[in-house]
Amino acid sequence: MSIEIGSKTQGKVTGITNFGAFIELPGNITGLVHISEVADSYVKDVNDHLKIGDQVEVKVLSEKEGKIALSIKKAIDKPEGQTPSYNKRPFRKNDSHKSNFQPRETFEDKMSKFLKASEDNLSSLKRSTESKRGGRGGRRG
**pLDDT by residue, tens only, the chain of 141 residues:** 567 888 999 999 999 999 999 999 988 899 999 999 999 889 899 999 999 999 999 999 999 988 999 999 998 876 655 555 555 556 566 655 555 556 678 888 899 999 999 999 999 888 888 777 765 555 544
Residue 90: what pLDDT?
60
Residue 12: what pLDDT?
95
Which CATH number does the domain housing residue 47 bear? 2.40.50.140
Q: Are 119 and 72 in the same domain?
A: no
Number of domains in the chain: 2
Task: Examine residue 56 and state whether it is found in any structural domain, yes or no.
Answer: yes
Give the containing element (helix H, strand E) for 6: none
Q: Are 25 and 66 in the same domain?
A: yes
Q: Are 111 and 64 in the same domain?
A: no
**DSSP letter string, 21-74:** EEEEETTTEEEEEEGGGS-SS--S-GGGT--TT-EEEEEEEEEETTEEEEESGG
Out of 76, 92, 120, pick the residue that ends a domain: 76
**DSSP letter string, 90-113:** PP-GGGGGGGS--PPPPHHHHHHH
The residue range of the domain holding 125 is: 107-131
Task: Examine residue 138 and state whether it is found in any structural domain, yes or no.
Answer: no
Does the model's pTM come out above 0.85? no
Q: Are 17 and 68 in the same domain?
A: yes
What backbone phi and psi angles, to 5 degrees, belong to 80? -60, 145
Q: Are 71 and 112 in the same domain?
A: no
Task: Examine residue 83 and state whether it is found in any structural domain, yes or no.
Answer: no
Contact (Cβ atoms closer than 8 angstroms) between residue 30 and residue 22: yes
